[in-house]
Amino acid sequence: INEAARRNDVKFVLAATNGVTASIFSDFGPRHEITDATGEPTQTLAVSNLEVIGSKPALLRVAGAEDGSPVVIATTAQAEHGLEDGDVVVLDDMRGGMERLNGMRVTVRRVAITSPTAAKVDTRGVAFRTALGMPTPSVVANFERQYEFYRARFDEDPSNEGRRFPVRTITIFNRLAFVLNDENGRALLDAAGGDGSADVFSGYVSGGLLNQQRPVVVKEYRSLAETLERTAVPQMLRGEDWEDGRGVEVHLSIAAALEFRERKGHWPRLHDDADASDVVEIAGEISSGREGVEGSCRAQTVQYGFPTGDARDLDEGRIARYSRLFATELTGFCAYLGGAAAQEVLKATARFTPIDQWIHHEEACLAADACPSNVGPLFGSRYDHQIAVMGKDFQSRCADQRVFLVGCGALGCEYLKGVALMGVGTGKRGRVVVTDMDRIEVSNLSRQFLFRQDDVGHPKSVRGALVVKRWNPDVNIEALERKVGDDTEDHFDDKFWTGQDLIWNALDNVLARKYTDAKCLFHSKPLLESGTLGTKCNHEVVLPFRTSSYNDGKESDDQENQIAMCTLRSFPYLAKHCIEFAKQAYFADYFEFGPEVYESFRQDPMAFFEQLDTMEPAEQSRSLKMIKSFIDLQEEAGGTIDFDGCVRIAFNRMMQDFRTSILDLCHSADEMEKSSGNPFWTGTKRKPRPVDWTEPTPLLWEYLYATANLYACVWKVEVIRDLEQFQSAVERLNLEQPVWSPGAKVDLSEGDNDDDGASEDDEKLKGELYKVDTSKLQPAQPQEFEKDEDDNFHVDFLTVSTNMRAYNYDIKASARHSVKVTAGRIIPALATTTAMVCGRKLFSFMRVSLAHCSNFSSALTTRIMNSVVGIEFCKLVLGLQSQGSDKFLNSNINLAAGSGNFTTFAPDPPVAIKTGLDSPHPTSFSSWDKIELSCKSKELSVDQLVQYLERSFGVSVDRIFLHGDQDDKAIYNAVDRQKLEWSIDFSEDGKVAVSDGVFTLWPQVRMAVQMLGRLPPTSGQRAIFKSQVEKVKKALDQTKESFMNRLSGPVSLAFREVYRPAEEGDKQTYFDTVFNGKDYVTLGVDCHTDREDEIILPCIKYTFTH
């Protein structure tokens, strides 16, 4: 078949799973063109300058450009362009007479500078990066002076005679040189017209984009027959196996099985020793027959992935096992191969790099012993293949597994499929619990294969469970529609977590992953963690006390460059800048942050002002202004905001954000141009244009519609979805565009110069807000951004806001889906990636199942069950465990980028967290560890707990708080002791004496104290300010009393007092349910030594009796 495919230019993909071995082979023919080798997003670079260097200086390095020749240098707005020599870009958005160059291709090369080694230039330093902002001739001139200085010093030293002057080459990552002497360059110059020289670029003023274009890669692939013989070191999925040459036995096994079928007329039979012996003999013949054939696959020693030519013995045991299990297939391998092979099929379109050409994988630890009573006889069970490989004992334990699957999306569907086919949870003890809050959407159907059109609108977990239940009616499965988090611990309580054998994550957000990982840490449960990112996938096995946990890592997004706020605010030049600003400024301020701080103030002004003092000055100012704006909106609306009010608010926002602020910016720039004499709108700075309501465009109507309805959601007003009804409501209001006049000067600086200090205006705002009667304020509902609800106006608002800003700055408009993807940080899951990573996770599940012994109450005991009984069986199990976690595998795989991106590796050991203590105290611990303090017979008081910790670890305790809590709450805070010395006293003359410490906790009382010192005794306003001070005095007295009561009272009551929500209702009921359902609390401790060294202690599990 392969030869016929090659003759007819047909791509050929082979995937085979035999027992504990899986192989995939790709043959894309003698010549295969790849137009996109990696599938990574191409770069779009903004041009900030184009320069024609008439004569290239010697220090300026450009590959292929001779000294003295002209060179065109493009400076990019991005600090690092990320391109390589020979990459091709397409010019776009060129302006100022260069419009005819748009769409033309040009080859680029990196630009570098020669620098003396002795200069030790810090390329990451501020000075170097600042220098790169200068024109290229100035940059070169600076380096020429540096070079001459160090060269002179070098030449003056007699010891350097005859030695070469040491230099280094520094790549300037924000510069690219255009190649004008190749086919692309000549076509570009022809399109430019003129005399065909590079001078066309000397007239550059502003604008311009460089869109990266992937080069075409041509690869040659060999036939199946040739690669079976001439692949000296076949690739194994696990890197160590590849380097050790373990793929040779797999490769020879495949060749031997093919030859066996030619000779015998059938494939090797299950558990047939005679067939296995024949296959081993044939493999030996094949190997010995290739002696002396260069590049052939034969038994020879391999070092670091390279064959040495020295013959070695075949591992006949592995080949015999391959033959005995040849007829079997395992679910995990099928999923793994299915995903990998399907991705290879997609590569026939010339996108992505095919594998080169074989990849094998072998999981020897899954194979049970050959005891006939364990692996047979087989009676036609749907699990016969699993039993034949891993034994009946494995299947029994598999049936009794209790698995908690968190999430039923792309990954969760595959996991559900896998556990159902394997028979997980089919025993009396066994159970599979799956939970997911989401409902099925049409967009899910392309990659979440359990769902069909009829399932749209229904819960994912329920429909997924129904499907797999039809496949395997014996599966005991429970479907839930509950979020897993700190607000559902009344359902997912300790009994639930301790009752699980394994936790399986299929989540799409970091917070939920961290939460389930934390539960696994606390309850010592194994966790299977995985994720997909386009064609990339990874999985992680978390084993109690043996591996690092998910929380040990640091979640980051290295692919996302930070965009300077000045660029987002005033000088955007890419569509993503408009999207980012719409999300960060418009949506966050108007609908998330604004309503949130407003509600905090409205519900409890005193608590708000206390919290305000803990904020950074810039955040304080932002909060105060937001609250004031929300109060002003109500005053303008006459006290209550209705839908007409929401329309007016939306209109005013539109005028301010997309007209008035634009006119102000242009005016300030014009004034700067007049005063400096230099053009302002150069490089990436685009002169914006305002919107105009006198002739409303559909875009303006779309903005009003989405924004007004979103404000209606905030103010809990009924929305108007009907467009005609909405337009009538707007026309009835007779909205008029305000007349613009020059306003406040706009900050045109290019730094992120947000105010970082408190201002007098902020103090005035505090005073105004302190007088507001919050009981008359209208409640607001903060909008938490949700990308997946199409009827909540969130993505609608972001899309139209993005395109309004794009209109302002003459940037291409963005499609709704593009905005949703960028703003929601969504990378679409590919079905092939999902299947593959799930297959890998099923391997890991098999390992856990084989090693599982009834439950994991405190630590994981890894055991392999087989037919051997007694102590020898126990030795086998303990032996596997004692070999460490390297029997398990983590993986990072990119299906798009070829064989080199299939990597697996052993899990990392637990991260050692240094305590800072000296021996004999523990000097380190891992996140699996905790301090268990049982006080069931008699509770400790908070003071006794403090003394215990200080005595046990030789530390001074600063705070004791809920473990993991990021707020300032604490059941003990050493700073609170100082409050016992604070006082507020009124004198007979009406003045008040206040300890300085009071102002640190209640800064708002300072104004009242000052006014009482200034106002005469007869002033009617004194009563207002005296009342304010008296409130604070009462609060101080209550604080002192509360601290003393808490210090002398039981730890559990102190915990309840501090962390029980203040507002009555559902939150209190929920807290009481969770608190009363546990006989412990988890505590964190901040402490230090006498040397003021910070000490880190593990979580404290404090057990008590209610």
* Residues 660, 654: Cα–Cα separation, whole Å: 9
CB atoms within 10 A of CB 354: 20
Strands 358-362 and 105-116: unpaired
* Residues 445, 530: Cα–Cα separation, whole Å: 21
* Residues 641, 635: Cα–Cα separation, whole Å: 9
R_g of the chain, CA atoms, integer Å? 35
- Phi/psi region, residue 86 (left: phi>0; alpha: psi -120 to 50; beta: rest), is left
Q: Which residue has the tokens 């242009």?
A: 666
Task: With beta carbons less than 8 A apart as the criterion, state whether 49 and 201 touch.
Answer: no
* Residues 1002, 766: Cα–Cα separation, whole Å: 12
Task: With beta carbons less than 8 A apart as the criterion, state whether 804 and 798 touch.
Answer: no
User: How is residue 89 written in tokens?
Assistant: 């870009």
Task: With beta carbons less than 8 A apart as the criterion, state whether 658 and 586 touch.
Answer: no
CA distances from 868 to 318, 319, 374, 872 (A): 20, 23, 9, 7
Is 566 catalytic? The answer is yes
Q: Which residues in 117-233 belong to E strands, given as ranges? A: 167-179, 207-213, 217-219
Q: How far is CA 936 from the centre of its chain?
A: 42
* Residues 44, 47: Cα–Cα separation, whole Å: 10
Task: With beta carbons less than 8 A apart as the criterion, state whether 366 and 353 touch.
Answer: no
Q: How far is CA 858 from the centre of its chain?
A: 31
* Residues 930, 964: Cα–Cα separation, whole Å: 13
Task: With beta carbons less than 8 A apart as the criterion, state whether 527 and 545 touch.
Answer: no
What are the residues whose beta carbons fall under 8 Å from the beta carbon of 66, sequence distance 6 or more? 56
Task: With beta carbons less than 8 A apart as the criterion, state whether 704 and 793 touch.
Answer: no
Summarize the chain as % helix, strand, coil (round to 5): 45, 15, 40
* Residues 5, 20: Cα–Cα separation, whole Å: 29
* Residues 622, 5: Cα–Cα separation, whole Å: 67
* Residues 14, 355: Cα–Cα separation, whole Å: 12
711: nearest Cα among 802, 890, 587: 587
* Residues 1023, 1030: Cα–Cα separation, whole Å: 10
Task: With beta carbons less than 8 A apart as the criterion, state whether 960 and 1084 touch.
Answer: yes
What are the residues whose beta carbons fall under 8 Å from the beta carbon of 655, sequence distance 6 or more? 693, 737, 738
Which residue in the list 297, 566, 713, 935 is annotated as catalytic? 566
* Residues 410, 531: Cα–Cα separation, whole Å: 10
Helix (H, G, I), strand (E, B) or coil at 1085: strand
End-to-end CA distance of the chain: 74
CA distances from 949 to 914, 934, 1087, 1099, 1100 (A): 17, 14, 9, 13, 10
Q: What is the DSSP string of 849-912?
A: HHH--S--SSS-------S--HHHHHHHHHHHHHT-GGGS-EEEEETTB-GGGEEEEPPPPPPP
User: How is residue 685 written in tokens?
Assistant: 């700075």
DSSP H/E element including 833: helix 831-851
Paired residues of 902 in beta bridges: 893
Residues identified as active-site = 566
